[in-house]
Amino acid sequence: MESSVRQIADVTLIGIDGRVDHATAKAFEEVIRPHLDDTGVNPLPKILLDMGGLSFMTSAGLRVLMIAAKTCASQGRDLAVAALQPAIAEIFKISRFDLVLKIHPTVEEGLSSLSLEAATLWEAG
Amino acid sequence: MIDFVSDLARERGFGPKRIMEVELAAEEALVNILTYAYPKGAGDIEIACKGEGGSRLTFEITDYGAAFNPLSFPVPDLLVELAIRRVGGLGVFFVRQMADRVEYQRKEDANVLTLTFTKRAPRNWENSTHTEGT
């Protein structure tokens, strides 16, 4: 698994590539966890996970996402995922993760839905 | 072990998406064995491919740990709102969803889990998740 983090206006965009399975779920959690802290910034940044490069995901990874979604919901901030490959999108669908977090077809659409400012910055490159 | 499973699926002509599903079921089954049959640490797990080829793939996964029947696990309620939805419980759910057939037997001191896969996913997930979730 590989990851990258970018701050775009009030959205933290986290890229997750490769496999999130039993062996790498801990690393996945360590990427996400620091962004779930309540830093006192008001409002807290929204979080968008760009999963376009994700090729495999097991229940261990979904567990991390579920905990993140619960934390964000309790903080009143948005957490969304974007750009799932079709096979991964199906995993999300059968486990009804559409009820856990917002799923956007592309990063652009995810940003547009979360923040106009971030979407504009993204479009400007 | 996961490579053994996905290589065989590839050899049998399974498509990339179905190979991923076979891999997912196998990984979840193995992780459950490590969690429940061998909670104190390592133990032996054997995985064998049964049958004589064709479009069907059957794996027999054997461990010698504590008796544990994954099929006795409750089906998670997937349709409840986030605040009360339980974290976890998806591992066995994926095994059942991805495999065409799942059988468990306790044979003397062994847990034997048999997973059968055909080239195509077994059911219409959209329907099955609704019925299983309620």
pLDDT digits (tens, 9 = 90+) for A58-73: 999 999 999 999 999 9
Domain span at residue B20 reads 2-133
- Residue A121 within a domain: no
Residue A88: pLDDT above 70? Answer: yes
Distance, CA of B24 to CA of B92 (rounded, Å): 11
Who among B83, B90, B133 is closest to A62 (CB)? B90
Residue at A117 is within a domain: no
Give the pLDDT score at B52. 67
**pLDDT tens, position by position, B84-118:** 999 988 999 999 999 999 999 999 999 999 999 99
Closest residue in B to A101 (Cα) is B82
What is the structure's pLDDT at B132?
Answer: 36
Q: How many CA atoms lie within 13 A of A13 on its CB side?
A: 21
For residue A67, count CB atoms less than 10 angstroms from its CB and return exposed for 0-12, middle for 13-18, buried for 19 or more: middle
> Is A58's CB within 8 Å of B85's CB?
no
Q: Tell me how many domains chain A contains.
A: 1
pLDDT in tens, A4-45: 999 999 999 999 999 999 999 999 999 999 999 998 888 999
Average pLDDT over residues B4-10: 93
Does any domain span residue A120?
no
Of B24, B87, B126, the CB nearest to A66: B87
A79: CATH: 3.30.750.24
Residue A116 lies inside a defined structural domain of this protein:
no
Domain-embedded: residue A32: yes
Q: What are phi and psi of B82, to 5 degrees?
A: -50, -45
What pLDDT does B127 receive?
A: 42
Domain count, chain B: 1
Beta pairing partners, A81: A49, A103
Contacts of A91 in chain B (CB under 8 A): 24, 94
Quick one: pLDDT at residue B122? 74
pTM above 0.80? yes
Q: Is residue A122 part of a domain?
A: no
Residue A35 domain flag: yes
Structural tokens at position B69: 């029947």
CATH of the domain at B59: 3.30.565.10
Which domain covers residue A27, as residue numbers?
A: 2-111
Please state, in angstroms and rounded to a whole number, the distance separating the CA atoms of residues A22 and B6: 16
- Interface predicted TM-score (ipTM): 0.91
A16 located within any domain: yes
Measured CA angle at B51 (ends B50, B57), to 5 deg = 75
Question: pLDDT (tens digit, 9 = 90+) per residue, B31-82?
Answer: 999 999 999 988 999 999 987 677 889 999 999 999 999 999 988 999 999 9
| Selected residue with higher pLDDT from B52 and A91 | A91
Cα–Cα distance between B36 and B133 in angstroms, integer? 24
